[in-house]
Structure 1
């Protein structure tokens, strides 16, 4: 059975101009989408209501890292979060490959030698945490505007 380990995962952000490999993130939570229900019950029904699936509501999650002021991607995440940057294309590269995302103009190029999760969203609310005998951690709110798409690798 083939499994994918979390160790070796990379997170990338594409803002339409450049791909930023987010160095040394400690976690990403994509949240759980919810789906509305559309009632489809006929007046003749006497036992139970019936429903159809409605629209999906993309979830709110978070991205975490231990602050390293020398790490420009940490500073970029804080800047984007303070600016409430939206429309960022995020790519989470699985540990089943090592290829990086590149950009050609305004398009991100995703290698087929690695599995990917991708979505569009924004970040906001940078919150530092100060716990005893720990590193200064940061959590930024991740608001997805699309569902998460999984693309398995197609070439070894």
Structure 2
């Protein structure tokens, strides 16, 4: 049987003001982006030909339970300032953390998804018999990069 990566042990990081922040979140979804297509058809052709176009950056989201941590205060600041930062998701094949030297550094012993982006929505959600939650949305500024671990 294949050795699949589990979601437990996945970590979300971002770099802001020369520091790495780890986000405690309950879910992460939507890292990707759709590809445009172009339709080519001459007047003589009976059917069209579709070719691949540019990839459009996606809008991933992640859910957090509000606890007024320092990281959540920084997330709110990022949202208010529309600051674009580097984001990274560390997969569960290792628990080594991202670091910061002159930029966000992702150790090669862990698999990573990374991208640049800014927070576009920070909606608070209130439900009976629950805790306050936010499903924060990021607009990616370009395509993501997937880097598998090099064990």
Q: Aligned with 1:39: secondary structure?
A: strand
| Equivalence map 1:134-153=2 (5 Å) | 134-153=130-149
| Alignment check: 8 A CA contact 1:85 1:124 kept | no
Q: TM-score, normalised by structure 1?
A: 0.88
Q: Distance in 2 between matches of 1:126 and 1:79?
A: 11
Instruction: Out of 34-43 and 124-133, give the one that drifted further.
Output: 34-43
Q: Render the CA deviation track for 1:39-67: whole Å, top value 9, x for unaligned.
A: 23334312x10021111111122121000
Q: Which residue of 2 aligns with 1:96?
A: 93
1:40 aligned onto 2:40: yes
Which residues of structure 2 form unaligned runs of 5+?
Answer: none
Q: Render the CA deviation track for 1:95-152: whole Å, top value 9, x for unaligned.
A: 11011111222x2221111111111111122111110000000122211112222111
Q: Which runs of 4+ in 1 moved over 3 A?
A: none
Q: Distance in 2 between matches of 1:31 and 1:4?
A: 16
Q: CA deviation at 1:31?
A: 4.8
Superposed CA RMSD: 1.6
Q: CA deviation at 1:16?
A: 6.4
C-alpha distance 154-31 of structure 1, shift in aligned 2 (>3 A): closer
Q: Distance in 1 between matches of 2:17 and 2:142?
A: 16
Which residues of structure 1 form unaligned runs of 5+?
Answer: none
